Amino acid sequence: MNEFLEPFQYAFVRDALLVGTVVAAMCAVLSCFLILKGWSLMGDAVSHAVLPGIVLAYIAGIPLAIGAFVAGLFCAVSTGFIKQNSRIKEDTVMGVVFTGLFAFGLVLFSRTESDMHLDHILVGNILGIRHSQIWQTLALGGVVLGVTLALRRDLLLICFDPAQARVMALPDKFLNYLLLSLLSLAIVVSLQAVGIILVVAMLVTPGSIAHLWTDRFDRMLGIAVAAATGSTLTGIVISYHIGASTGACIVLVQTLLFVVSLAFAPKHGILRRRAVA
């Protein structure tokens, strides 16, 4: 037990646990909406598209978070514009846009002299997060989480039944763009913790786990948050003991929970469905 509790003696581990909990809860709540709306690939697209914004912000001498947010929002908005003005389907447009922006970011990064480490951008560095970044993460993460929960009923309606939302005179276009903005901001907040690549799993896996366990949305939110925060705390402790990438350990624990849920979930698990059949 003493060996297990050893990491909690260090301030950098406690800081990582605090930041990881906020990021996990924020991504888990958003993941429920992305799963219901069928926007899982949108999280992948926006997370990769922020790279050129980060590099351009570094060159311009402005906060990296601003560049990342603008680039992510540009990816989301341009995807919607191309879809509405062409015959190409949304998933195809996202594939073209985010790979193009990600490649542009890699070219900019390779041609820019800086002390930034690409691996920290791609896979995160939550154990090395600075105090200024901690407060930034807590503030922005709290804003995203608060706005999402405050508007969860309206956002749920545009995800589940857009036609009914229009009948009720809800501003569906505004809410769609608001959800995209919250997604972009969440990805910016998560960069320090798990990086560009692994944030995709944080935005998809918790909602997928919860969706296997229940059909009630409020309960789905609770299960997703519990799965995400539990995986984050476990992953951080495991990564400390085995000396592995913290972000990767967090995602692996989430993936293990998904596999267990896929098999044993009492609502929609494989074993349950076979027993009913």
Domain assignment present for residue 275? The answer is no
CA distances to 14, 156, 262 from 213, rounded to whole Å, are 31, 18, 9
Domain assignment present for residue 274? The answer is no
pLDDT for 162-207, tens place per residue? 777 777 777 877 888 888 888 888 888 887 677 777 788 888 999 9
> What per-residue confidence (pLDDT) applies to 274?
78
> What per-residue confidence (pLDDT) applies to 243?
84
Half-sphere exposure of 80 (CA within 13 A, CB side): 13
Domain assignment present for residue 17? The answer is yes
What mean pLDDT do residues 232-239 have?
Answer: 90
What mean pLDDT do residues 107-128 have?
Answer: 74
pLDDT band of residue 277 (cuts 50, 70, 90) is: low
What mean pLDDT do residues 63-67 have?
Answer: 82
Domain assignment present for residue 220? The answer is yes
Domain assignment present for residue 277? The answer is no
Domain assignment present for residue 86? The answer is yes
pLDDT band of residue 115 (cuts 50, 70, 90) is: low
pLDDT at 118 over 70: no
pLDDT at 124 over 80: no
Domain assignment present for residue 49? The answer is yes
- Check if the beta carbon of residue 26 is closer than 8 Å to that of residue 186: yes
Rounded to whole angstroms, how far apart are CA atoms 209 and 229?
13
The CATH number for 166's domain is 1.10.3470.10
**Residue 143 identity (one-letter amino acid):** V
pLDDT at 128 over 90: no
Rg (CA), the chain: 19
Rounded to whole angstroms, how far apart are CA atoms 84 and 68?
25
Share of the chain above pLDDT 70, in %: 95
Domain assignment present for residue 31? The answer is yes
pLDDT for 139-153, tens place per residue? 888 999 999 999 888
> What per-residue confidence (pLDDT) applies to 166?
77
> What range does the domain containing 110 cover?
2-269
* pLDDT greater at residue 149 or residue 3: 149
Q: What is the pTM of this model?
A: 0.85
What mean pLDDT do residues 220-241 have?
Answer: 92
Total domains, the chain? 1
